Structure 1
Amino acid sequence: MTGERGRAYELDRSHVFHSWSAQAVLDPITLVTGSGCEVVDEQGRTYLDFSSQMVNLNIGHQHPKVVEAIHAQADLLTTVAPTAASLARGEAAERILAHAPEGITKVFFTNGGADANENAIRMARLHTGRDKVVSFYRSYHGNTGAAIVATGDWRRIPNEYARGHVHVFGPFLYRSEFWASTEAEECERALHHLERVVQAEGPGTIAAFLLETVVGTAGVLVPPPGYLAGVREIADRYGIVLILDEVMAGFGRTGSWLALDQHDVVPDLVTFAKGVNSGYVPVGGVMISAEIAATFDERVFPGGLTYSGHPLAAASIVGTLDAMAEEGVVENAARIGADVLGPGLHDLADRHPLVGEVRGVGVFWALDLVLDRETREPVPTAEVGAMKQALIENGLLPFTAENRIHVVPPCVVTDDEVARALNIYDEVLTAAEERLL
């Protein structure tokens, strides 16, 4: 089999240890090239990439302006220590801050989203002199020491080695923890729950709230109107730093430059990665308010990374954000979500009883799959795995999690590509219903 699949597959199965996986059962697809919303495997078969790889490929595969920006920087200077000034790094920070909320003035660069959250937590703790961090049970913040413990899902449990983490339930009306029947009730009760946890833990012990602006891997949960503004009020009341995790939701994914642009909230720290350069070179970072940055004017910040603001990564950010602005990529994501993808997914739900709820915004959507719409019993994970394989066989790379199919194409996706994808989802849902219902 390895001979048929080629040398890339053989080397992978012989030597590569994969994340979040039991190694013996893996059978990875081998991808060799791509363009825009499509990728090609070693047999020359083309797939629609409606996973955006790891929900990070906002500008699509092999965008020529981003590739050229990396080439140009490689010809000039391939690496430079973070202790030196670098034009590419400075320009990347300038481009990022152009899309930041008022009062955010500095950028600390990291290698990805996990260490962005790690360093944001460190900043909040040092700024406040407090220890605890409050985050959602339905969340994912990365696979490093504090970030994985801030995470709420199952991946936290075998990794709980960091101290000072508290979890709460965020708003999620479809599967409400608060017996709510309206978005307004869900918002009010979730905020009450959050404040009561703060009071019970001791407000003087809590350094930060760390929340995904739109919860991503745990379900594509768009907060109800007023929720994030309410969180900001609670944070202000008790002197708590508000960190918004925009690693997955930021830079076009929701149809705005940052997901927080759609909510009445100004955080103290914003973490980012993924869409800021579509993962062409590993990079992430923390946008820092002037107040928190000033904490370290005369005090040493005890954190750093050898590759902080790596020039190739910085150049890829400049190339990405410039191309997105010039080509209206964020506007395309907003239009696609409102006029094409969102309506198309709701039409699927109308015709398929397996779809309990459709939720999302921009190019950030999820189908919540159920065996019974009345009880909302989730489709078993194994069945979703079978649907994932069927989607791949039909020419679409999906992103699935638990009982959900996340529909997350690049922000450059076209109307025709959405129509092709909707037809594939339709076929696979039909076949699954014949088997399950």
Structure 2
Amino acid sequence: MAETLSSQQVVDITKQHNFGTWRRGKQWNPLHVVSGDGCWFTDANGKRYLDFSAQLMCVNLGYNNQAVIQSIQQQAAELAYIQPSYTTTARAELSQLLLEVLPKGLTKFFFCTSGTDANEAAFKVARMYTGKTKIIGRYRSYHGSTASSIGATGDARRWPSEPRSKLPGVVFSPEVNCYKCPLKHSYPECGIACADYLEYMIQNEGDVAAVLAETVVGTNGVLIPPPGYYQKLRRICDENNVLLIADEVMAGWGRTGKWFAIDHWGVQPDILTTAKGITSAYVPLGLMAVSEKISAFFEDNLFAHGHTYEAHPLTLGPAIATIREMQRLNLVERAVEVGAYLGEKLQALKAKHKSIGDVRGLGLFWAVELVKDQAKKTPFNVWQEKLDGKTLVVDQIAGKMIASGIFLQAWMNHFVIAPPLIVSKEEIDFALTALDEHLAIADQLVAG
């Protein structure tokens, strides 16, 4: 019988032989997690933690959903793998189900393994379809970690890999951020100047294949576009023969109170990419969906893309189960109801704490942004400090939260609050009581 590893051995072996992503190895001390149930996960010492960010904003159904687990077991027993040039019942059933929940008009699908893969496919499709090269992204964005997707990422995570992995033909535009506009305008007086600037870029860059946008920016701050932004962007893309790619990797699957965030604005993208919540992250699955005009193009033109794990059977059955569970539990509608409760509680925290500059969100997708000067909106930390491995103010507070039995995703100067869609109001109260206490760390550092 193999030797049973102690929890400390598990941690030590992991640190010695694995990479801690987006961090220095010496700073990594991974928590040994052994189980999860509902909105809670448990470490090897038996301590339970409320997951207030659904891990990487992906465990939308919470832990231990039996319908999804059974679908994995059933598919593994029936057919664990077949190459993507064949098909399976799960592939056809999932395709039919997607037509019910995706924005109308997206009718052709490419199944892959992650959001990164989905965006890589989208870039290739946009270029093959249009015959053009350039993709316009936004500075506060994240689209993945492989060469093309990190090259199209606007935030500083791309800096260490440049220039070798810089994606040729990607240019960046200002983000849509009405709290702290990079163009120094104010909505609605600005007339949505950030969209106008994108049109200026399209007309002066030339050779633009697509505009790439996280419909609601995720890790970089849950940035909610103002009313009319996406309608205006859709018109600009149409008038200039440019495709609109909606990255819904994080914002999709009920997170914002709609099946997909773009549904809030009634706009159909040409290409939609998603992952994470499609299986509640129980198995790795990504999806690229395209409009009928793009689908028709590839009837007579080579679709020059694919890989070994495309439409992997083990990933498709769980996606079917996840969507059906979301429908059974009315989780999209529930995100609206419970999200309103969460939003009210967060606004109350803002009124109480001088370190909170902004609270914003949709459904069960929120950010709490910290500042050391509310009037000037001055952040506590800057990107270079993070890249240098400095412990940021939000990291200090997140450390206190985990010690209190609550996991909260911290990034730069904000927290991403995105619990599983099954979270209860009592669990929200439990987490926010702790956050209220630990925000004293930031309050003490506020200027003046």
TM-score of the pair, normalised by structure 2: 0.94
2:202 maps to 1:192: no
Distance 1:224 1:312 in 2: 39
Kindly indicate whether residue 401 of structure 2 is the aligned counterpart of residue 391 of structure 1. yes
Describe the superposition over 1:284-308 as per-residue Cα deviations: whole angstroms up to 9, x where unpaired: 0101111101111122211101111
**C-alpha separation between the residues in 2 aligned to 1:186 and 1:360?**
22
Q: Does 1:164 align with 2:174?
A: no
Return the alpha-carbon distance in structure 1 between the equivalents of residues 248 and 212 of structure 2. Answer: 11
Displacement of 1:43 in angstroms is: 0.6
2:343 corresponding residue in structure 1: 342
Distance apart, 1:97 and its partner CA:
2.3
Partner of 1:28: 30
Residue ranges of structure 2 left out of the alignment (5+ in a row): 382-390
CA–CA distance in 2 between the matches of 1:359 and 1:4? 43
Give, as a single letter, the amino acid of the residue that structure 1 aligns with 2:239: R
After superposition, where does 1:122-141 map in structure 2 within 5 Å?
122-141=124-143
* CA distance 1:279–1:394, change in 2 (3 Å): same
Counterpart CA distance in 2 for 1:53 and 1:282 is 14
The equivalent residue for 2:417 is 407
Matches within 5 A, 1:249-260: 249-260=251-262
Question: Conserved in 2, the CA contact under 8 Å of 1:33 and 1:40?
Answer: yes
Does the CA contact (< 8 Å) of 1:283 and 1:313 recur in 2?
Answer: yes
- Indicate yes or no: 2:370 matched with 1:369: yes
**Contact 1:216/1:248 (8 A) holds in 2:** yes
Does 2:99 correspond to 1:94? no
Matches of 1:341 and 1:4, distance apart in 2: 39
Instruction: State the secondary structure of the residue aligned to 1:359.
Output: strand
Q: Which residue is 2:11 aligned to? A: 9
Structure 1 residue 71 corresponds to structure 2 residue 73: yes
Aligned partner letter, 1:201: E
Matches of 2:295 and 2:146 in 1, distance apart?
23
Shift in Å, 1:7 = 2.9
Residue 176 (structure 1) aligns with: 181
* 1:15-66: CA deviation from partner (whole Å, max 9, x where unpaired): 1112111112211111110011100011100011012111111111111111
Shift of 1:432: 3.6
Cα distance in 2, alignment partners of residues 170 and 433 from structure 1 = 28
Q: Which of 126, 151, 159 is the aligned partner of 2:153?
A: 151
Shift of the alpha carbon at 1:383?
A: 1.6
Does the aligned pair in 2 maintain the 1:187–1:224 contact within 8 Å?
no
- Counterpart for residue 309 of structure 2: 307
Does structure 1 retain, via aligned residues, the 8 Å contact 2:372–2:445? no
CA distance in structure 1 between the aligned counterparts of 2:231 and 2:278, rounded to whole angstroms: 25
Query: Which of 204, 207, 210 lines up with 1:208 in the alignment?
Result: 210
**How many angstroms does 1:435 deviate by?**
5.4
Alpha-carbon offset, residue 79 of structure 1? 1.0
The CA deviation at 1:430 is 2.5
Q: Deviations over 1:74-127 (max 9, x none)?
A: 111111111101111121222222112222111101110001001011001000
Partner of 1:358: 359
Go from structure 1 to structure 2 and tell me whether the alpha carbon gap of 1:250 and 1:115 turns closer, same or farther (over 3 Å shift): same
Contact 1:97 1:287 in 2 (8 A): no
Identity percentage over the alignment? 39
Task: Report the aligned-residue RMSD.
Answer: 1.4
Q: How does 1:171-320 map to 2 (within 5 A)?
A: 171-182=176-187, 184-186=188-190, 188-202=192-206, 205-320=207-322
Q: Shift of residue 186 of structure 1?
A: 4.6
Note if contact 1:171-1:186 (Cα within 8 Å) is conserved in structure 2: no
Task: Report if the CA contact (8 A) 1:226-1:264 is conserved.
Answer: no
Kindly indicate whether the alpha-carbon contact (under 8 Å) linking 1:178 and 1:186 is maintained by their aligned counterparts in 2: no
| Structure 1: tracts of 5 or more residues without a match | none
Give, in whole Å, the separation in 1 of the partners of 2:266 and 2:259: 15
Q: Show CA shifts across 1:391-417 (max 9, x none).
A: 111111110110111111111111111
Per-residue CA deviations over 1:340-373 (Å, capped at 9, x if unaligned) read: 1000000000101110100011111001101111
Taking the aligned partners of 2:237 and 2:197, their CA distance within structure 1 comes to: 14
Q: Is the 8 A contact 1:187 1:226 kept in 2?
A: no
**1-structure distance, mates of 2:186, 2:108:** 42
- Secondary structure of the residue that 2:171 maps to in structure 1? strand
**1:181 CA displacement:** 2.5
Change in Cα spacing, 1:369 to 1:186, as seen in structure 2 (3 Å) is farther
Task: Provide the C-alpha distance between the structure 2 equivalents of 1:150 and 1:265, rounded to a whole number of angstroms.
Answer: 23
Amino acid at match of 2:189: E
Q: Which whole-Å deviations, capped at 9, do the CAs of 1:126-171 have from their partners, x for residues lacking one?
A: 0000000001101000011211111100012223422000100122
Q: Which amino acid aligns with 1:369?
A: L
In 1: Cα distance, 2:216 partner to 2:51 partner:
21
Given the alignment, which residue of 77, 84, 96 partners 2:86? 84
Relative to structure 1, is the Cα distance of residues 151 and 320 closer, same or farther in structure 2, using a 3 angstrom cutoff?
A: same
Q: Specify the SS of the correspondent of 2:371.
A: strand
Letter in 1 for 2:198: L
TM-score normalised by length of structure 1: 0.96
How big is the shift at 1:431? Answer: 4.1
Match of 1:433 in 2: 443
Superposition deviation, residue 201 in structure 1? 0.5
Q: Distance in 2 between matches of 1:271 and 1:431?
A: 38
1:232 and 1:86 map into 2 onto residues whose CA distance is 36
Secondary structure in 2 aligned to 1:423?
Answer: helix
Deviations 1:151-201 (A, max 9, x none): 10001222342200010012211111222233x235521111111111110
**What SS does the aligned partner of 1:92 have?**
helix
In 2, are the aligned partners of 1:173 and 1:186 still within 8 Å (CA)? no
| Aligned counterparts of 2:273 and 2:190: Cα–Cα separation in 1 | 26
Q: Within 5 Å, give how 1:102-121 maps onto structure 2.
A: 102-121=104-123
- Structure 2 Cα separation of the partners of residues 102 and 405 of structure 1: 33
CA distance in 1, matches of 2:409, 2:238: 37
Count of paired positions: 431
